[in-house]
Chain A
Amino acid sequence: MSVNLSVNLAGIKMKNPVMPASGTFGTGREFSEFMDIKSLGALVAKTVTLRPVVGNKPPRICETNSGMLNSIGLQNEGIDHFLKHDLPYMRKFKVPIIVNIAGNTLEEYAQMCRDLHGVEGVSGIELNISCPNIKAGGIAFGASARLAEQVTAAARYNTDLPLIVKLTPNVYNISKIARAVVSAGADAVSLINTVVGMSINIKTFEPCLANITGGLSGPAIKPIAVRMVWEVAQTVNVPIIGIGGITTAEDAIEFLLAGATAVAVGTANFINPRATIEIIHGIEAFLKERELTDIKQIIGKVKT
């Protein structure tokens, strides 16, 4: 009995619902030594910005109970370098590529959408309006329904590609933000980005991160993410990419049941470079065990 794992994410045809989360997989180059990148549902590039960003001062990461804090600060070489050097490499894997972009201004988001227009191999754009570690832009856009709507509209006006907006959990009402970006033309939403956190070294009395605060990721945030995916799934009618502490197939299945059409694996990649592939196999085994033939039979099927 074969199982159909394929999903259609706002026009992006994925052979299975599993992709890496932006910023945890590079371009796939390093991971290609451990696994077959072609098996992924999609590839998501690390956030690119209009101009190169040097990133934050070290220490940039710190382990916490069941998770880690990071404050990388969107270090990247800029979109020109990305288009010239990274994208051609990623195209070789022949899986849909989602390009994640962040800007300081609406115009920067708009400009990058134009830069990506008609570029071979780009299947979708993910707007990062939720990075907690940069001063301007990032989370500033994602924490306000009005700004989130404006930035989505600016991107929408400049691209015909499937547009995914990545939401921050650091808001009181994530459904409100989701509604705002969907009304402005988002084709899908991805959630959650990291949860703002802080850790202090009690021997030195210093914050563990040079940036003082950072984004918490890993299993510690999974229940928050599942709740938010479930809430947003009740609110909007676009596909959701579920993200937040997914380490095993069981974790991924929780997100699918909560209403996610696809899932992204983040921090788990750092611990097990084969995490994505093992999750794909695990989901397939789970469906077979229950004699289900299609992944869609579990999406949004939580009994509440």
Chain B
Amino acid sequence: MFQVKADILSKEEVIPGVFSLTIVSPEISRNAKPGQFVHILCGSENDNFVLRRPFSIHRVVPGRAFEILFRVVGKGTEALSRAKIHESLDVIGPLGNSFTYSEKLESALLIAGGLGVAPLIFLAEELAERYVKLYPMIGAQEKAKLLCYIDFKRMGKKTYAATEDGSIGHQGTVVDLLNRTIHQIRPQVIYACGPKPMLRKIAETADEFGIDCQVSLEAKMACGIGVCLGCACVTKKGYKMVCKDGPVFNARDLVWDQDEVGRLPSGGCMCETQETQDSD
């Protein structure tokens, strides 16, 4: 892991309130693996003391830069959305573990709700290079809020979409879509990221079909490097730290405790749970 002062190369408001930032860091881009995250100091030094915000690495420009994708949900992301091109950010990364796959992997289903798609693009690009057959499945409230549909399309992948209003793809949730299509697809592995209640249902489906399932979690986090023990999640082997033991966990190892699920309403690109701790 590195602590770098990294310049913003480009910034785009992908859909209203959702931004992508490309940040120059050869160190981070060279070492990053899909599923890992960066911890960014958001806002100027004159601002109030604010914890770093974690962001999934959305994609890398090999050897040069990396991209993050986030929604403005609190004061950290709000400050970051105002950052200007060429401005320098204090970034620590790459952090955490990564999605894993065997050399022999032939097919994978990538499923995301909302901003959960952020880490899956990086994974999809890496798996595509290895000629793994990919089934991307993404969901949103409506077509206008569906993220990364075009990115998957550009990769030449048949992309399954679910929207609550049916404006594109299946009308309903991405979990419904999964349950309707899993029989035909039968992937070797499912990679999932999104709100925890959604992940829980995906884990149940994966379990039912005996499919290996890896989920990327988020939690309120302080240090991001495994020191403060703040971002604990409950697993069958006891408390594990989302920042260091995760953010990717095998779904079978997690304890999907109802109380805890209720306490973690959002999910996706790492920063959302962190951000919802302030009153927006």
Q: Which residues of A69-112 have CB atoms within 8 Å of chain B's CB atoms? A: 70, 72, 75
Q: Give the residue of B229, B263, B264 whose beta carbon is less than 8 angstroms from that of A72.
A: B229
Chain A residues in 8 Å Cβ range of B260: 57-58
Instruction: Indicate if the CB atoms of B227 and A62 lie closer than 8 Å.
Output: no
Q: Give the residue of B50, B223, B230 whose beta carbon is less than 8 angstroms from that of A60.
A: B230
Q: Give the residue of B227, B234, B277 whose beta carbon is less than 8 angstroms from that of A30.
A: B227
A273 to B51, CA, bound (A): 12
Chain A residues in 8 Å Cβ range of B274: 63
Given A54-B238, A70-B222, A273-B3, residue A61 in contact with residue B50 (CB < 8 A): no
B260's nearest neighbour on chain A, judged by CB, is: A58
Instruction: Indicate if the CB atoms of B3 and A54 lie closer than 8 Å.
Output: no
Instruction: Indicate if the CB atoms of A61 and B233 lie closer than 8 Å.
Output: no
A206 to B259, CA, bound (A): 11
Binds B, one of A18-26, A137-145, A156-164: A18-26
Given A63-B278, A270-B52, residue A58 in contact with residue B233 (CB < 8 A): yes
Instruction: Indicate if the CB atoms of A210 and B263 lie closer than 8 Å.
Output: yes
Chain A residues in 8 Å Cβ range of B279: 201-203
A267 to B264, CA, bound (A): 24
A222 to B85, CA, bound (A): 35
Count B-side interface residues using an 8 Å CB cutoff: 37
A236 to B10, CA, bound (A): 58
Q: Which residues of B57-79 have CB atoms within 8 Å of chain A's CB atoms? A: none
Q: How large is the interface on A (under 10, 10 to 19, 20 to 34, 35 or more residues)?
A: 35 or more
Asked if B177 is an interface residue, CB under 8 A from chain A, the answer is no
Chain A residues in 8 Å Cβ range of B90: 272
Instruction: Indicate if the CB atoms of B225 and A273 lie closer than 8 Å.
Output: yes
Asked if B1 is an interface residue, CB under 8 A from chain A, the answer is yes
Asked if B219 is an interface residue, CB under 8 A from chain A, the answer is yes
A267 to B228, CA, bound (A): 9
Chain A residues in 8 Å Cβ range of B239: 54-55, 58, 75
A30 to B263, CA, bound (A): 29
Chain B residues in 8 Å Cβ range of A67: 49
Q: Which residues of B72-122 have CB atoms within 8 Å of chain A's CB atoms? A: 90, 92
8 CB contacts below 8 A, A to B, read A30-B225, A54-B238, A58-B263, A60-B220, A220-B49, A270-B222, A272-B41, A272-B90
Given contacts A65-B48, A270-B228, 16 further A-B contacts (CB under 8 A): A33-B1, A33-B2, A58-B260, A58-B263, A59-B219, A60-B220, A61-B220, A61-B230, A63-B50, A68-B222, A70-B228, A72-B230, A201-B277, A206-B263, A271-B52, A273-B225
Name A's B-contacting residues (CB within 8 A).
23-26, 30-31, 33-34, 54-55, 57-63, 65-68, 70, 72, 75, 201-204, 206, 208, 210, 218-220, 247, 267, 269-274
